[in-house]
Structure 1
């Protein structure tokens, strides 16, 4: 366990400069977005006033109240989140290929460490997962700050006050990050973690068998999709609702864990039998 924690810490430290820059950029872009969105809304109020509409209720009838959902649906809010997602996806590939193609083929030094090779695989996955959780936590804090900023910048009569729960419920992608129930949290984040494991398994297949590995990785990826969506395809084939919504949820979640277990098993065998130092 001690070696595993050291490996996780090592992976986190390697990416920390870029990770910190990503967090700072997210904060800057979203806060700037709050000010720009607020100024645009105040400009609309002023335009209505110039047209002779002075009653607050009449202006609200024309342009609506300013709420957080209007901001969370903008590029200023969604853009930084998309940037974080894309960056972590790219790094999920880079975290392996950097070690193989970097100076002195660093992967072989890692494989010679006095620890189970599976720890190397799992430590990289856990590091990525912890980075995701860190950005999710940062975004939740930012939601609180941004809501407060809007209340300071926009006149009270024009603000549509919302709780954090209401803000999350008003955004489809925020609901993915912050599900409304513990079971949904467990399901969403376990699926995300297992998706990382599957991606790492695809990389190890390619690294183990080179050109043939690309084909094997493609077959495994296709097989994974077939397994995960099997309940939906079965219903489509029979053209009838064979499962209740709750049943579909638990079946697909169980299949996700099966895929995760198979990915760990395949990666363990590849690391110990195909990749040699």
Structure 2
């Protein structure tokens, strides 16, 4: 375990500047958006009351009505949700980069790692932990920002936390966005706790296949990801009677995919991979 954590520390030090820049942009965008939303609400109240729109107007009863209508809250939430997902996509891109940087970089550091006297799979695990921790860091940061934003708005308008959740979930049902932006416990567990792990494992397995099989490795790696994605899409879209049935079914599917992918990766990185 200590060897894996040592490799994790090395990997994280290599990406921390870029990663903290991403988190900084995420935080900055949230600050700008919440200020803009509050400013717009104040301006709208000013027009209603025929006075200058100042921050003090946010304590007026009209502010509660405007916030409760949901449009401005949901618009702000949707944009921050999109920004969070872009940050997660960057982390998934890093899942590719974290390997190919070593394979094709001038330093060829992967040679050194592969020559160390311990199981090669430790390299896989350290990179996996690094990438997943980056994704979870983005998710945790964004959810903390949403909670802070909620308390800021509540401080002005006294609107309850449950009202915020109801606004988001109700508007999600009536939006044409391709992204599922609703807040439900089961969807949260699937989308933000389980799916990132599976995505990274799939990407890593595809890379192991690519680097282990000379001629058709790339095609087989892509095919593996696509086939798994199609099966997931079918199971996720299936109309379960109860949400817990959906969670249990997907847990079973994720467990199978994880076991198969980890087994393939373990065999390939220790027995077949060439650099």
TM-score (norm 2): 0.78
1:116 corresponds to which residue?
Answer: 119
Change (3 A) 1:232 1:162: closer
How many residues were matched structurally? 257
Tell me if structure 2 keeps the 8 A contact 1:30–1:77.
yes
1:221 corresponds to which residue?
Answer: 225
2:73 corresponds to which residue?
Answer: 71
Change (3 A) 1:81 1:227: closer
Q: Gaps (5+ residues) in structure 2?
A: 52-59, 173-179
1:242-261 to structure 2, matched below 5 A, reads 246-261=244-259
2:177 corresponds to which residue?
Answer: none
Name the CA distance, whole Å, in 2 between partners of 1:41 and 1:79.
22
* Larger RCO (alpha carbons 8 Å, 6+ apart): 1
1:180 aligns with 2:148: no
2:3 corresponds to which residue?
Answer: 3
Quote how far apart the aligned CAs of 1:210 are: 4.3
Quote how far apart the aligned CAs of 1:244 are: 6.3
1:125 corresponds to which residue?
Answer: 128
Name the CA distance, whole Å, in 2 between partners of 1:175 and 1:231.
19
Name the CA distance, whole Å, in 1 between partners of 2:105 and 2:93.
16
Tell me if structure 2 keeps the 8 A contact 1:4–1:120.
yes
Deviations 1:20-41 (A, max 9, x none): 1111111111111111111111
Q: Secondary structure at the match of 1:103?
A: coil
Tell me if structure 2 keeps the 8 A contact 1:68–1:147.
no
Name the CA distance, whole Å, in 2 between partners of 1:34 and 1:47.
20
Tell me if structure 1 keeps the 8 A contact 2:211–2:217.
yes
Tell me if structure 1 keeps the 8 A contact 2:114–2:120.
yes
Name the CA distance, whole Å, in 2 between partners of 1:208 and 1:71.
49
Change (3 A) 1:29 1:222: closer
Quote how far apart the aligned CAs of 1:15 are: 0.9
Name the CA distance, whole Å, in 2 between partners of 1:49 and 1:256.
55
Deviates more, 1:191-200 or 1:136-145: 136-145
Deviates more, 1:199-208 or 1:129-138: 129-138
Change (3 A) 1:231 1:22: closer
Quote how far apart the aligned CAs of 1:76 are: 4.7
Name the CA distance, whole Å, in 1 between partners of 2:42 and 2:212.
59
Change (3 A) 1:72 1:135: farther
1:1-277 to structure 2, matched below 5 A, reads 1-50=1-50, 64-65=66-67, 70-74=72-76, 76-151=79-154, 156=156, 159=157, 161-163=159-161, 166-168=163-165, 170=168, 180=185, 185=189, 188-225=192-229, 227-228=231-232, 246-276=244-274
Quote how far apart the aligned CAs of 1:145 are: 2.5
Cα RMSD after superposing both structures: 3.4
Name the CA distance, whole Å, in 2 between partners of 1:243 and 1:33.
38
